[in-house]
Amino acid sequence: MQDTLESALSAVASAAVRVHCAGRTDSGVHGFGQVIHFEAPVQRSPKSWVLGGNANLPEDVRLHWAQPVAGDFHARFSALSRRYRYLIANTPVRPALMAGQLTWQRYPLDHELMHAEAQSLLGERDFSAFRAAGCQSRTPMRNVQAISVSRRGDLVVVDIRANAFLHHMVRNIVGSLLAVGSARAAPGWLAQLLAGRDRTRAADTAPAAGLYLVEVEYPARYKLPRAPAEPLLPGA
């Protein structure tokens, strides 16, 4: 996506533009609440950056707003927290609609048990058990500020907010929550995994298709607008 954005904004500027993102997402992950910043090589109005950028972007990528920011702002390093949402279609038959935008789980899920299990992840912890082998972070410590699992009809929704995330951290957490919710693992397993700090003992990584970067929070002094609500993301 970064190359695509840089190409579109460079067309507006008639000069090379390099963007910096709030967070990197894997292929197949959806980034509705992504925030970027760049050093503008020429002067353009915020409206011109948005309309001109969108005119040069594919249909599945859109700019929502643009505004000047303070010189010390950085899309990644100024962020206070990131919020992700994971959508699971819990139906006997794989849904035909929203293919590539949901994960499917045909076994009944106990979302209340999943929610209770997820609370053991709150706070600043060592998340080595949910860290990809190729993660390049210097520390496995992350602070999970909120996590919930709820059901909206046939849709099970995992919502998680943290100061930052390790590579595959959300997908690895969801994979283990699915194991508990479908009774393939016993209650209390997530707390044991967290304490053990061993990725090989956790469940498989959940697919990328159900994961959305919903929102990035910044200090109020930057006066950034919130991401607009997305109708396809329940409770966004």
Q: How many domains does the chain have?
A: 2
Q: What is the mean pLDDT of the chain?
A: 93
So which residues are the catalytic ones?
Answer: 26
Instruction: Report pLDDT digits (tens) over 77-126.
Output: 999 999 999 999 999 999 998 888 899 999 999 999 999 999 999 999 99
Residue 33 CB neighbour total at 10 angstroms? 24
Based on the domain organization, do 102 and 209 belong to the same domain? yes
- pTM of the full structure: 0.91
211 phi/psi in degrees, rounded to 5: -100, 135
pLDDT of residue 32: 80
Segment 56-77 mean pLDDT: 94
Residue 26, pLDDT > 80, answer no
CATH of the domain at 27: 3.30.70.580
Based on the domain organization, do 112 and 54 belong to the same domain? no
pLDDT of residue 229: 65
d(CA 148, CA 128): 21
Segment 220-230 mean pLDDT: 82
Structure tokens at 165: 């995330």
Contact 140, 194 (CB under 8 A): no
Based on the domain organization, do 120 and 6 belong to the same domain? no
Strand 36-38 to 19-21 pairing: antiparallel
Radius of gyration of the chain (CA): 19
pLDDT of residue 70: 94
Name the band, by pLDDT with cuts 50, 70 and 90, for residue 166.
Answer: very high
Name the band, by pLDDT with cuts 50, 70 and 90, for residue 233.
Answer: low
89 in a structural domain: yes
66 is in which domain, residue-wise?
Answer: 2-77
Based on the domain organization, do 28 and 112 belong to the same domain? no
CATH of the domain at 87: 3.30.70.660
Based on the domain organization, do 208 and 91 belong to the same domain? yes
Contact 19, 51 (CB under 8 A): no
Query: Could you give the C-alpha distances from 14 to 17, 41, 45, 61, 62, in angstroms and in order?
Result: 9, 9, 14, 20, 20
Residue 231, pLDDT > 70, answer no
